[in-house]
Chain A
Amino acid sequence: MSQAAAPKKAQGSSTAYAARSTSRRRWRISLASRQAAFGVAILLPTLAILAIFRFLPMIEAFYLSLTQYDLVHPPKFIGLANFVSLLQDPLFLKSARVSLTYVLFSVVPVLPLSLGLAVLFNRSLWIKNVLRSAIFMPVVMPAVVMAVVWTFMYQQDGVINTILGWLGIDPIAWLRSSASALWAVILIGIWRATPYYMVIFLAGLQAIPADYYDAAEIDGAGKWASFWHITLPLLKPTMLLVIVMNVIVAMKVFAVPLIMTGGGPADATRVLPLFIYQTAFEFFDMGRAAAMSVFLFVGVMLFSFIQVRMFTRGDEQR
């Protein structure tokens, strides 16, 4: 090999290396791109379904809320008139109050009840599985069946008033009195939601390592102290999930009041989703119904946002 040929060879080798390196880099980028493209391709059908069946109707609802639309004639743009009118409508305000009452009193009791049941079933009980299944039954029962069964149970001669009668208590007109109808519906909400959230809490409890409790026991902590200082703090993310989900579900309650009371007596159980349905499909005022849906949507978002902020405030500081 000549001397002149050596640097050439070296140059050639370096060029080849550079080319190989560039090619490898290009390959690396290309692989990443391909993976990304593959990911997008996999997601695309789901995204398309979401866009068509979730987001487009939501955007459409936002648009309709700015219109006057009776289903037959084309929508007429009226700006914010529906929102202004709703804020001055006593029926809407009453319905919003009913919904808030329902949310408050069906969500708050569910938290301790479902957590309590989860703690109970997290222990070793010999009939644990049977009890768990029995308690979970309301969750799998269709809402319509449940509403019909409870309607019978609430009647004057129903099982609830019969039991009250044995205790010397006069029959209560559960669904036929403005004073009691909403509470009767709330009771069903609690009865149905508790086992569902119990299962979620149970999963949360089982994810807590037993070592923590062992260490606490060695340090002399009692059951209550362990629950307060270990269980509750570690269940915080589960609790957030339960509250947010429960509020959203409670805000959207519809079938039970529709079937059991139709919103009555005297609007005592006309929750917002029921009023939206009536406004849209009984009064044929789609624009107004859409505006109510926007209020409901904003309400749910606001609730969820506040809850997330409240539960994650401490974490951010840490």
Chain B
Amino acid sequence: MIKWNVRRTVSSLAVTAMLTMIAGGSALAADTPANFPKEKVTIEIWWHEYGPFTAYVKELIEAYKKVRPNVTINSVVTSSGDINQKLTVALATGTGPHIMDQDASFYELYFAKGVLEPLNLEVFGAKSHDEIIARYTPGGIAAGTFGGKVYALPYQGNSMSLFLSNKAFEAAGLSPVKDAPKTWEDMKALGPKLKKVQGNRTVQKAFDFPYHSPRWEMQMFQPLVEQFGGRILSDDGKTAYLNSPEAVKALTLWRDVTKATGDPKTTMNTPSNPNQDFIDGRTAMWVTGPWATSQIRQSPVKDGFTVVSYPQVDPAKPHTIVYGWMWGVNKAKPEAERIVAWDFIRFMLAKPDEWLAKAAFVQPVKGVNETQVAKNFPFFDVHMKDVSTASWYIRSEFTNEIGQAVGRAIERTIYDGVDPKASLDQAQAEIDKVLKK
């Protein structure tokens, strides 16, 4: 037993060391890039507010100051809903930060606007961008790569998996392990068993799709379309397929699953608290990312949940979605400050296991699942399995417009009873106009 523990500890340490080297942050002082400024430098970093994440980044800033005493880092924290607007306006007016934090899907827009600086290879000790890409899981860095060059690095790449309330399952005489749904048909079958209605009021939903933001609606719609073999956008991003037969099947399935399991009119979820219904016991099943784990564990649910893979149309051809947030560097800043910015990003990303332990964010770097922290993280294997069958959230200059058009189409069908085909035809017409720009 002792031997096993020693072996395990040693292997964990080895993996951690390997990961640290992969991410390029070990022995930072010794790895100082040749052109790293010696004079005093001040840089600014902006990120979106999320309690554990903010606390960890602040901790990293303090740690970095000890290694690079000539660098001052000023920080601005803003809500996830506002960061895109604030960042874009700031970049346009020349008041943007050195390091930006942004949802991966927006980097396409920033790249198109020419505000991003390509990753500084020297700072990361790499000879090519391919070498950097190889440090990540396949496709793990795709959302930040343009024309073969890396422009943004992810600090989280989230799968979407199905969280089950053990309490709700057990109250219905079900086992969250044995009776866990694998397909959308299973979800529909579980609906009547888990949904509780008192009079005309739904007091517990079996499952609900998200309706609190177009982004989340798109996040659920895209994998459904892809599970039917379709896609949202062409590779070049110039053609949308919102009313394709696969998309219509996806929205029809969304509607049918909702009828059997949910009650969208009762949701209490909000963009700043998307897991509210699950935490409050108003829904027995909910799709969310691994980052929600710490929030759920701190809620009355505590450890009374089980995570299973994202439901499928055909389990033989599993397909899920991954989305994330990335760090990028502002091209408009002086060279010395850009070097410092990349150096700090390298420092921040150096310990993926710490990111998982402190912020519950999964960095899509190779080997992260071998760390001790990952092994202790609840249902980490499930999250990783879902990542392995995932494609990234759509990348487009018009991510917001497409997300909103899809959100409206879903709401027309779910709330107003509009036929899925008619609703998606309207969305397609709206997006065709946008893409013609």
Main secondary structure of the interface of B (DSSP, over half): helix
The answer to whether B264 touches A91, judged by C-beta atoms less than 8 angstroms apart, is no
Q: How many chain B residues have a CB neighbour from A under 8 Å? A: 33
The answer to whether A91 touches B113, judged by C-beta atoms less than 8 angstroms apart, is no
Q: Which residue of A lies closest to B403 (CB)?
A: A282
The answer to whether B267 touches A283, judged by C-beta atoms less than 8 angstroms apart, is no
The answer to whether A91 touches B200, judged by C-beta atoms less than 8 angstroms apart, is no
Main secondary structure of the interface of A (DSSP, over half): loop
A204 at the interface (CB under 8 A from B): no
Chain B residues numbered 179-233 whose CB sits less than 8 Å from any CB in chain A: 200-202, 211, 213
A282 to B214, CA, bound (A): 12
The answer to whether A70 touches B415, judged by C-beta atoms less than 8 angstroms apart, is no
Of B84-92, B148-156, B335-343, the stretch lying at the interface with chain A is: B84-92
The answer to whether A176 touches B264, judged by C-beta atoms less than 8 angstroms apart, is yes
Residues of B within 8 A of A170 (CB): 200
The answer to whether A156 touches B88, judged by C-beta atoms less than 8 angstroms apart, is no
Of B61-69, B135-143, B406-414, the stretch lying at the interface with chain A is: B406-414
Cβ contacts A142-177/B at 8 Å (1 or 0 each): 000000000000011100000000000011010011
A72: which of B115, B265, B416, B430 is its contact (CB, 8 Å)?
B115
A227 to B408, CA, bound (A): 49
Q: Which residue of B lies closest to A173 (CB)?
A: B265
Instruction: Knowing A176-B415, A264-B408, A282-B400, say if A171 contacts B88 (CB, 8 Å).
Output: no
The answer to whether A171 touches B401, judged by C-beta atoms less than 8 angstroms apart, is no
A282 to B89, CA, bound (A): 10
B433 at the interface (CB under 8 A from A): yes
A21 to B202, CA, bound (A): 93
Residues of B within 8 A of A71 (CB): 88-89, 91-92
A178 at the interface (CB under 8 A from B): yes
The answer to whether B411 touches A264, judged by C-beta atoms less than 8 angstroms apart, is yes
B357 at the interface (CB under 8 A from A): no
Chain A residues numbered 76-92 whose CB sits less than 8 Å from any CB in chain B: 89-91
Q: Which residue of B lies closest to A169 (CB)?
A: B200
A17 at the interface (CB under 8 A from B): no
Least CB distance from A150 to B in Å reads 14
Residues of B within 8 A of A267 (CB): 408
The answer to whether B211 touches A176, judged by C-beta atoms less than 8 angstroms apart, is yes
The answer to whether A282 touches B430, judged by C-beta atoms less than 8 angstroms apart, is no
Residues of B within 8 A of A178 (CB): 411-412, 415-416
Complex A-B: 13 CB contacts under 8 Å: A155-B268, A156-B265, A176-B264, A177-B416, A264-B411, A265-B211, A265-B411, A265-B416, A278-B404, A281-B85, A282-B84, A283-B434, A284-B109
Q: A176-B264, A262-B213 are in contact. List 19 more A-B contacts (CB 8 A).
A: A71-B88, A72-B91, A72-B92, A155-B268, A156-B201, A156-B265, A176-B265, A176-B415, A177-B265, A177-B416, A178-B411, A178-B415, A264-B408, A264-B411, A265-B415, A266-B412, A282-B404, A283-B400, A284-B109
